[in-house]
Amino acid sequence: MPTRAPAIEVAGLEKSYKDLKVLKGVDLTVDRGSVFALLGSNGAGKTTIVRILATLLKPDAGTATVNEFDVVSQAAHVRESISLTGQFAAVDEILSGRENLVMIAKLRRVPDPGDVADDLLKRFDLADAGGRRVGTYSGGMRRRLDIAMSLIGDPPVIFLDEPTTGLDPEARLEVWEEIRKLAGGGTTVLLTTQYLDEAEKLADRIAILHQGTIIVTGTLAELRQLLPPAQAELVERQPTLEEIFLAIVGKEKR
Amino acid sequence: MTAHVLNDTGVMLDRSLKHVTRSLDTIITVTIMPIAFLLLFRYVFGGAIQTGTDNYTNYLMPGVLLIAIASGISYTGFRLFNDMQGGIFERFNSMPIARSSVLWGHVLTSLVSNAISVLVIIGVGLIIGFRTSAGVLAWLAVTGILVIFTLALTWLAIVAGLSASTPDGASAFSYPLIFLPFISSAFVPTETMPGPVRAFAENQPVTSIVNSIRALWAEQPVGHEIWIALAWCVGILIIAYLFAMAAYRRKIA
């Protein structure tokens, strides 16, 4: 990259569905190579922002650029720069996992689609299931395949819209690990989530979207400073139910 | 860009054809009903129907093929609807591909799968007595009419698939289309029908299409009827295509 301009820049973004104003002037900046978490409850407008950035929806007002391309006037360039993993696994149930990957590789015109597919199957621990119809996959496998499909062609910016919603704790950890690897490789990740711990564990910066505007944005440390300093209290630390579950199931990964 | 369109449409066609070949039940459902009609009219009703021809199988063949196509295209609406329900439609639309390929993949698949069921039904027809000595040109003309008819109804199915809110809605629109051949010259001569019914039957698209195909197979002059048939098909095709494109643009904002 010749420049270090932000990977995503959004200013004054507004969007309404009929009378319902979903976005009321959203501003945000995502640095290149960072993981940015957009936090908000259901219906806060997270998906609307992602859909506008992914050129699936046109904003009513405001501007948004991805990889320095305008999402409205340079939509084709934006689509060259991104990959979207939506809320519902965007996989073809009737094709096999490998066929899904080959299909996307051909559409992105990468050389050797078959090799690309096999590499990704191995990397996402799907090599054994690669020949099976996706309809037979578990939720976690589908999600991993979904993310694997998004990586084909190495787009510089990846949108993950609630990537772990509906997954069991093990599958969640697997997805988290992949997101960390992505960020390690220099990809910019915009992540939406309603889980606070997910943002805490993965994101370099966090923005909280509430009632159509970003009410606060910063690193986790900066957000912590918004509250009075923590007081030291002696509390016996009980294991969380998640830790117990993972310990019993035997897949503790931390 | 043209190269992209061809590459992308090819990938989409490959995908959607796999859907067809992996759910063979859809082809069976699509062919079994027309074959049942074929047998029913040939062996049950046929004896009582006076058409003025000596081979009733030849008489009813074109109408049965139109019924097969009308029920076949409902699956196109269904498949497209399913694409939109899952996330795959959005994935395609957020990728750097020719956007038209998303729809054309479904349209070409519809042509291929309907061609398969038409061939199967013609095969059954040959077994129960369908005969024609039509030459290559006549067959080409018949194929052409059926292809344009399929395209017209397929784009109609695309409109339904894009606008429906339930899977049933995406395929139910084809029921009246399946029924249309019964109020036409497909099974009985229109002369026997009472005034208003006859007026409807003689002025709806199926009658001109059926009469044209029948004449081509019988090596009779097709007259002006084939132009009426083509005008209907091309007219429906253009209007359905425009509505489908409008519906598609609304979907992808």
| Minimum-distance CB partner of B8 among A56, A82, A107 | A107
Structure confidence at residue B187 (pLDDT): 86
Which residue does chain A place closest to B4, by CA atoms?
A107
Closest-CA distance, B79 to chain A, in angstroms, reads 11
Quick check: B11 and A109 CB within 8 A? no
Structure confidence at residue A254 (pLDDT): 44
Each domain of chain B, given as residue ranges in start order, spans 2-252
Structure confidence at residue A253 (pLDDT): 47
Structure confidence at residue A252 (pLDDT): 47
Angle at B98 between CA B171 and CA A155, to 5 degrees: 115
- Tell me which DSSP letter residue B43 carries: I
Is residue B164 classed as helix, strand or coil in its secondary structure? coil
Q: Measured between CB atoms, does A89 come within 8 Å of chain B? A: yes
| Minimum-distance CB partner of B15 among A84, A87, A92 | A92
Among A44-48, A78-82, A246-250, B114-118, whose mean pLDDT is lowest? A246-250
Q: How far apart are CA A132 and CA B135, in angstroms?
A: 47
Q: Measured between CB atoms, does A79 come within 8 Å of chain B? A: yes
Record the tokens describing residue B61, joined without a space. Answer: 């063949």
Picking from B165, B145, B142, the residue whose alpha carbon sits closest to that of residue B153 is B145
| Minimum-distance CB partner of A106 among B11, B92, B94 | B11
Structure confidence at residue B242 (pLDDT): 93
User: Is the distance from CB of A194 to CB of A87 less than 8 angstroms?
Assistant: no
Global ipTM = 0.82
Q: How far apart are CA A127 and CA A117, in angstroms?
A: 10
Reply yes or no on whether the pLDDT at B160 is more than 80: yes
The mean pLDDT of A166-190, rounded to a whole number, is: 85
Structure confidence at residue B253 (pLDDT): 61
Q: Measured between CB atoms, does A104 come within 8 Å of chain B? A: yes
Chain B residues in contact with A100 by the CB 8 A cut-off are none
- Encode pLDDT of B205-238 as tens digits: 999 999 999 989 888 888 888 899 999 999 999 9
Closest-CA distance, A207 to chain B, in angstroms, reads 24
Stretch 119-178 of chain A: residues touching chain B, C-beta under 8 Å: 133, 146, 149
Quick check: B87 and A109 CB within 8 A? no
Return the exposure string of B11-23: e unless at least 16 CB atoms fall within 10 Å of the residue's CB, then b. Answer: bbbbbbebbbeee
| Minimum-distance CB partner of B90 among A56, A80, A99 | A56
Record the tokens describing residue A29, joined without a space. Answer: 């900046």
Closest-CA distance, B1 to chain A, in angstroms, reads 12
Quick check: B86 and A79 CB within 8 A? no
The mean pLDDT of B155-178, rounded to a whole number, is: 87
Structure confidence at residue A159 (pLDDT): 93
Chain B residues in contact with A94 by the CB 8 A cut-off are 18-19, 22-23
Q: Measured between CB atoms, does A97 come within 8 Å of chain B? A: no
Give me the domains of chain A, ranges plus CATH numbers. 8-249 (3.40.50.300)
The mean pLDDT value of chain A amounts to: 86
CB pairs under 8 A between A and B: 67
pTM of the predicted model as reported, rounded to 2 decimal places: 0.83
Quick check: A88 and B7 CB within 8 A? no
Chain B residues in contact with A80 by the CB 8 A cut-off are 96
Quick check: A92 and B88 CB within 8 A? yes
Among A81-95, A175-189, A217-231, B168-182, whose mean pLDDT is lowest? A217-231
Cα dihedral B216/B110/B77/A113 (nearest 10): -170
- Encode pLDDT of B74-92 as tens digits: 889 988 998 888 888 888 9
The mean pLDDT of A27-55, rounded to a whole number, is: 89
- Encode pLDDT of B83-134 as tens digits: 888 888 888 988 988 888 889 999 999 999 999 999 999 999 999 988 888 8
Which residue does chain A place closest to B22, by CA atoms?
A94
Structure confidence at residue B1 (pLDDT): 54
Quick check: B253 and A84 CB within 8 A? no
The pLDDT-based confidence of A251 (bands split at 50, 70, 90) is low
